[in-house]
């Protein structure tokens, strides 16, 4: 039976009232056609999807609110959602956006931190030298850029974590970042997005996860595997789920939905039942960590 769980990575967006350029003016996204999610998706939609599964808490990750607008606006809106009685207190944690390369980012972080549910920052770092639609960052060398690192280090001052979203070939650099700056807690998003399926690509992913795991200040979310395997089945994603847990350990892994993005490839209940099936041989204590208590620890919820 699926245990009570925390969804550690979902999004909300209100297209009638808030700015999300990528949803109103489609981009060349590596997932292909995403027109099915170009509509508002609110906390009620999350609860509707979870009506038959034991969702108890949630973590909202920044949804690419217009970078030309004040990013604290998204946090303020999400806090108001969480404070509304109909939300069931969700999202319980808010991972916001800030441009860590901005010389004035300290003020942005300070204003984010004024909101009770704020827990950290995601600045997407995905980069490919030869595939433009694999680039979500402003440049490919941010993790070694002195200005960006100055902003990154400020997260410790505000007790904020960093959600690192990268491709497998960037894991070695992320491992260096984590080991060099142990005072900032880093959460690896989407299992490092293992998009390649050739033997060499799979080895690169596994070796990268192993390197990342050498840092004492890291954890990881197993999610978004549907984006990378759009005809996924429980059997097809199981090796990635089990490898992540085997390499990093049950104390450092968490599950997430990446909804509504992954709603393109699955319904909510089917995804969580897949995680349940894959871990059915784990002990009750191990499953409690993977589905709930690790998230409570890392997101302080």
Query: Residue 138 corresponds to which tokens in the numbers above?
Result: 């402003």
HEC string for the chain: CCCCEEEEEECCECCCCCCCHHHHCCCCCCCCCCHHHCCCECHHHHHHHCCCCCEEEEEEECCCCCCCCCCHHHHHHHHHHHHCHHHCCCCCEEEECCCCCCCCHHHHHHHHCCCCCEEEEECCCCCCCCCHHHCCCCCCCHHHCHHHHHHHHHHHHCCCEEEECCCHHHHHHHHHHHHHCCCCCEEECHHHCCCCCCHHHHHHHHHHHHHHCCCCCEEEEECCHHHHCCCCCHHHHHHHHHHHHHHHCCCCEEECCCECHHHHCCCHHHHHHHHHHHCCCCCHHHHHHHHHHHHHHHHCC
Q: Which residues of 227-249 are buried (b: 16+ CB within 10 A; e: fewer)?
A: bbbeebeeeebbebbebbbebbe
The superfamily CATH assigns to domain 5-299 is Metal-dependent hydrolases (3.20.20.140)
| pLDDT attached to residue 185 | 98
Q: How far is CA 151 from CA 66, 67, 160, 164, in A?
A: 20, 17, 12, 14
Closest CA to 118 of 99, 102, 88, 97: 97
Q: What is the dihedral of CA 34, 27, 135, 217, to 10 degrees?
A: -50
State the Cα–Cα distance between residues 111 and 117, nearest whole angstrom. Answer: 12
What are the residue boundaries of the structural domains of the chain, listed by start? 5-299
User: pLDDT tens digits for the chain (301 residues)?
Assistant: 999 999 999 999 999 999 999 999 999 999 999 999 999 999 999 999 999 999 999 999 999 999 999 999 999 999 999 999 999 999 999 999 999 999 999 999 999 999 999 999 999 999 999 999 999 999 999 999 999 999 999 999 999 999 999 999 999 999 999 999 999 999 999 999 999 999 999 999 999 999 999 999 999 999 999 999 999 999 999 999 999 999 999 999 999 999 999 999 999 999 999 999 999 999 999 999 999 999 999 999 9
pLDDT tens track for 30-42: 999 999 999 999 9
| pLDDT attached to residue 225 | 97
pLDDT tens track for 110-135: 999 999 999 999 999 999 999 999 99
């Amino acid at each position: 039976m699926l245990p009570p769980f925390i969804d550690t990575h979902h999004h909300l967006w209100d297209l009638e009232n808030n700015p999300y350029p990528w949803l109103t003016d489609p981009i060349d996204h590596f997932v292909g056609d995403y027109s099915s999610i170009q509509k508002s998706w609110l906390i009620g939609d999350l609860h509707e999807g979870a009506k038959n599964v034991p969702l108890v808490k949630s973590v909202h990750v920044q949804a690419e609110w217009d970078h030309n607008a004040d990013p604290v606006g998204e946090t303020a809106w999400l806090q108001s959602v969480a404070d509304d009685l109909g939300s069931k207190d969700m999202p319980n944690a808010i991972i916001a956006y800030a441009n860590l390369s901005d010389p004035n980012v300290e003020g942005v972080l300070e204003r984010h931190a004024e909101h009770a549910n704020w827990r950290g920052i995601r600045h997407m770092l995905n980069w490919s030298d030869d595939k433009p639609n694999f680039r979500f960052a402003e440049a490919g060398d941010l993790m070694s850029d002195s200005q960006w690192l100055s902003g990154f280090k400020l997260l410790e001052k505000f007790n904020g974590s960093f959600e690192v979203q990268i491709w497998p070939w960037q894991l070695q650099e992320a491992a260096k970042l984590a080991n060099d700056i142990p005072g900032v807690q880093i959460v690896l998003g989407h299992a490092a997005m293992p998009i390649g399926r050739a033997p060499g690509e799979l080895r690169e992913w596994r070796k990268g996860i192993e390197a990342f795991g050498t840092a004492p200040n890291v954890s990881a979310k197993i999610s978004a595997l549907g984006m990378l395997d759009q005809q996924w089945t429980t059997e097809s994603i199981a090796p990635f789920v089990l490898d992540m847990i085997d390499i990093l350990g049950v104390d450092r892994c968490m599950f997430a939905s990446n909804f509504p993005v992954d709603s393109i490839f699955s319904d909510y209940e089917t995804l969580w039942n897949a995680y349940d099936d894959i871990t059915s041989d784990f002990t009750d204590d191990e499953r409690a960590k993977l589905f709930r208590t690790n998230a409570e620890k890392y997101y302080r919820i």
